[in-house]
Structure 1
Amino acid sequence: MNRAYQIKIVTTELEIQQCWEVAFLLRPHLKKANWSSMILEMMQNEKYSIAGIMDDDKFVAFAGYRAMTSLHSGNIIYIDDLCTLESHRGKGLASQLLDYIKSIAISSNKDAVVLDTDFNNHTAQKVYLKNGFKFVAVHLACGVRR
């Protein structure tokens, strides 16, 4: 029997700190010392939100997303981050989070839900394709720090 997991909206600094293990798996370049302050600033200034899934007292999956408008995609929800702890993969948690974010997009009359993924992250790409996403663009970046 599959266990039912509930989505929790992350709002407090303690909850942000509890997301660290999942976030670090996806973003190993981040530093734990400024994780909470960075997220709080993003929440305040950039409409960033986190939806997470807990197992007991531990976040095992999370999605960071924001409402935004771009000339390319229109009025959208952009998913910055989506990750599940390896111990909880294959349980449909990423799909549950994607469905939740798509429901927000529908209820707030957005044009689309958009995300970027690494070219080599085939596991994530399979999840996204299974959940109705399509390859529609190539994201390019140019580093400016030395």
Structure 2
Amino acid sequence: MMLLLYQKEIQSETELREVYPVMKQLRPHLDEPAFLELADKAKKTENYRMLALYEDAVPVSLAGFVQRVTLNQGVHVWVDDLVTCEKHRSKGYGKKLLSAVEEWAKQHGCRTVELSSGTQRREAHRFYEEKMGYEKASYLYRKHLK
């Protein structure tokens, strides 16, 4: 049996609700109302975009990204979120979706695609470096404000 794979940009609240279970695997601290609120705010304030890959009408992988302009990187894409549903990993879906983000970036005049990944996510690091050709370019530092 042949699987139907397709991708689409997520835009409506209904579509966000549909992909929430996949995003929850990457962002377990977000309940659905918080996810909907933050996704809407990011879209309105930063032009956040989300692409989803579907397998037979079921979302299996997500990529959330923004186009940015900085003095350091010029015009580029920053990937905020990239996740493939745990039971669908190692099928090439993450590669397909991140490649789609890269193509979007090229079409919109971006010089690079950047992302950060938690230090504990060793499998993700291996994917980015070995399968996608990304290089470790820096450390990300964070300070939580009280």
Shorter-normalised TM-score: what interval? over 0.9
Post-superposition shift, 1:2? 7.3
Residue 73 of structure 1 corresponds to: 73
Residue type of the alignment partner of 1:23: M
Post-superposition shift, 1:69? 1.0
Residue 33 of structure 1 corresponds to: 33
Percent identity, aligned pairs only, is 25
- Give 4+ residue runs of structure 1 displaced > 4 Å after superposition: none
Structure 1 Cα separation of the partners of residues 136 and 100 of structure 2: 21
Post-superposition shift, 1:60? 1.3
Residue type of the alignment partner of 1:61: S
Please say if 1:132 is aligned against 2:139.
no
Residue 83 of structure 1 corresponds to: 83
Q: What is the number of equivalent residue pairs in this alignment?
A: 145
SS of residue paired to 2:14:
helix
Residues 2 and 56 of structure 1: CA distance in aligned 2, closer, same or farther (over 3 Å): closer
CA contact (8 A) 2:48 2:66 kept: yes
With structure 1 as the length reference, what TM-score do the two structures score? 0.92
Could you give the per-residue CA deviations for residues 93-134 of structure 1, whole angstroms, max 9, x where no partner exists?
A: 100011101101111111100000011211111111121210
Structure 2 Cα separation of the partners of residues 30 and 56 of structure 1: 26
Give the alignment of 1:1-146 within 5 angstroms.
Answer: 3=3, 5-129=5-129, 130-145=131-146
Q: Which moved more, 1:28-37 or 1:94-103?
A: 28-37
* Structure 2 spans left out of the alignment, 5+ residues: none
With structure 2 as the length reference, what TM-score do the two structures score? 0.92
CA contact (8 A) 2:5 2:56 kept: no
Q: Which moved more, 1:82-91 or 1:51-60?
A: 51-60
* Structure 1 spans left out of the alignment, 5+ residues: none
Structure 2 Cα separation of the partners of residues 47 and 5 of structure 1: 26
SS of residue paired to 2:102:
helix
Post-superposition shift, 1:75? 0.9
Residue type of the alignment partner of 2:109: N
> What RMSD in Å do the two structures reach over aligned CA positions?
1.5
